[in-house]
């Protein structure tokens, strides 16, 4: 049974809207611009994209929103027929508040979900012994402070308090029958973020840099075994499990320009250090013989964001963008528990202002490139799409 459990993973899977298990749709305005917001976003949702930019708030700004991620992922085993997932809608919300009591200083607080995914493969899925259902959510609470050190330079810093939860179901192969293991757990972690925004040419050209640290967590939870044959029941009893997971550090570089009075163009390059995710070991403190590392060997990858915003009228803004998001997973470790692929995203969005109120909406089409897996025993090709819908409501003074 050690071999049977060796590929149990506590991480969620599925066609999330970003490579790995990152979620970067924390503002409908930013999503509409292809998330090219490191140098330009100036409302309270900048807590996520660049802490320095919360100084764009006049006195008070509040944003509340939600994102619906509807993935469609398929796996085609080598020489077999395509199998897919059950319909799953993931709705990660976001809330941001910024107060600027002084001309040169602003304080903010954000709550959002930058990592997470859900996955539910069909019941007879060929890879059900490696992963059948899973969900992951990392909730960040992010107090933030920004200060204007120069008329053209802003700095911002923040603390990331992270609560993450995970749940996994997978089938167990007993040759003559099938059982199931249901794993669930939670963890706390702490990190930080820091950003800079500078106006190179006031009103025409700005740059931004934002760093968010890695966050190390240790999941602790329980394993519930079901339909276990009598001969295995003495070993496969319900018991505690643990696993160490490190959410990656990110570094974003942004450039924004206004070639026309009403038009803003932005370019972001973000490096995500997925190399911190080399393996995952599920530990059974009460039965160490079941411990076994799961090799992932992910590598750091860059994401490329291009976006535009056009003020059609003082009240109406139109947006568009394009994103190239490369997968960190090598073919040799690409399995159904964490399926992945290079992603190409097309985005559109619009905003409307009415007095102190505003509403932003965005749509993102995610195209997953056909990606070959060479994982032993489960080789094949992953492909699919995802539809992402975002709405954010805002109030400012």
pLDDT digits (tens, 9 = 90+) for 342-374: 899 999 999 999 999 999 999 999 998 888 888
User: Positive or negative, the Cα torsion across 30, 35, 38, 44?
Assistant: positive
Question: Per the structure, how many domains does the chain have?
Answer: 1
Q: By CB neighbour count within 10 A (0-12 exposed, 13-18 middle, 19+ buried), where does 304 fall? A: middle
Query: What residue ranges of the chain have pLDDT lower than 50?
Result: 1-15
- In this prediction, residue 88 carries a pLDDT of 64
Question: What's the DSSP call for residue 53?
Answer: G
Kindly report the CA angle at 324 between 370 and 197, in degrees rounded to 5?
Answer: 160
- In this prediction, residue 273 carries a pLDDT of 93
CA atoms of 195 and 186, how far apart (whole Å):
29
Position of tokens 């757990």? 185
Measured in whole angstroms, the distance separating CA 232 from the mean position of its chain's CA atoms is 38
CATH number at residue 248: 2.40.160.60
Q: Of 58, 34, 57, which is closest to residue 47 (Cα–Cα)? A: 57
pLDDT digits (tens, 9 = 90+) for 184-224: 888 999 999 999 999 999 889 999 999 999 999 988 888 88
The beta strands (E) that lie in the chain are given as 60-77, 83-84, 93-102, 105-120, 133-150, 153-173, 178-201, 205-212, 215-226, 239-247, 250-260, 263-272, 279-283, 292-295, 301-311, 316-325, 343-354, 357-373, 380-396
Exposure string for 258-282, b = 16+ CB within 10 A, e = fewer: beeeeebbbbbebbbbbebbeebeb
CA atoms of 308 and 265, how far apart (whole Å):
5
pLDDT digits (tens, 9 = 90+) for 81-99: 877 776 666 667 899 999 9
- In this prediction, residue 92 carries a pLDDT of 77
| CA trace torsion 109, 115, 121, 127 (10° rounding) | -160
CA atoms of 273 and 3, how far apart (whole Å):
30
- In this prediction, residue 5 carries a pLDDT of 33
Domain that holds residue 38: 2-396
Kindly report the CA angle at 154 between 160 and 214, in degrees rounded to 5?
Answer: 25
């Amino acid at each position: 049974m050690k071999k049977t459990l060796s590929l149990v993973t506590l991480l969620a899977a599925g066609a999330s809207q970003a490579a790995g298990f990152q979620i970067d749709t924390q503002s409908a305005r930013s999503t509409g611009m292809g998330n090219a917001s490191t140098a330009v976003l100036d409302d309270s949702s900048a807590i996520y994209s660049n802490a320095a930019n919360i100084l764009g708030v006049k006195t008070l700004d509040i944003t509340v929103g939600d994102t619906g991620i509807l993935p469609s992922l398929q796996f085609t085993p080598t020489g077999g027929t395509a199998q897919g997932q059950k319909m799953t809608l993931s709705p990660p919300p976001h809330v941001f508040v910024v107060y600027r009591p002084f001309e040169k200083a602003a304080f903010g607080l954000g709550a959002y979900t930058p990592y997470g995914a859900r996955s539910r493969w069909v019941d007879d899925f060929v890879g059900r012994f490696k992963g059948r259902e899973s969900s992951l959510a990392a909730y960040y609470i992010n107090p933030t402070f920004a200060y204007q050190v120069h008329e053209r330079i802003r700095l911002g810093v923040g603390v990331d308090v992270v609560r993450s939860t995970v749940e996994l179901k997978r089938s167990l192969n007993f040759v003559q029958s099938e059982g199931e293991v249901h794993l669930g757990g939670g963890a706390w972690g702490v990190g930080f973020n820091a950003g800079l925004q500078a106006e190179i040419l006031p009103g025409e050209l700005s740059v931004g840099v934002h760093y968010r640290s890695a966050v190390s967590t240790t999941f602790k939870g329980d394993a519930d075994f079901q339909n276990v044959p009598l001969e295995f029941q003495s070993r496969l009893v319900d018991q505690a499990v643990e696993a160490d997971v490190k959410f990656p550090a990110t570094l974003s570089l942004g450039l924004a320009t206004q070639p026309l009075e009403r038009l803003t163009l932005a370019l972001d390059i973000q490096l995500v250090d997925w190399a911190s995710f080399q393996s995952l070991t599920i530990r059974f403190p009460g039965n160490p013989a079941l411990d076994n590392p799961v090799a992932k060997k992910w590598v750091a990858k860059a994401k490329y964001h291009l976006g535009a915003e056009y003020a059609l009228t003082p009240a109406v803004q139109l947006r568009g963008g394009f994103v190239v998001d490369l997968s960190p997973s090598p073919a040799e470790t690409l399995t159904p528990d964490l399926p992945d692929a290079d992603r190409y995203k097309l985005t559109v969005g619009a905003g409307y202002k009415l007095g102190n109120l505003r509403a932003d909406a965005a749509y993102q089409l995610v195209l997953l490139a056909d990606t070959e897996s060479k994982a032993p025993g489960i080789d094949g090709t992953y492909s699919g799409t995802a539809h992402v819908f975002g709405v954010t409501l805002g109030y400012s003074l």
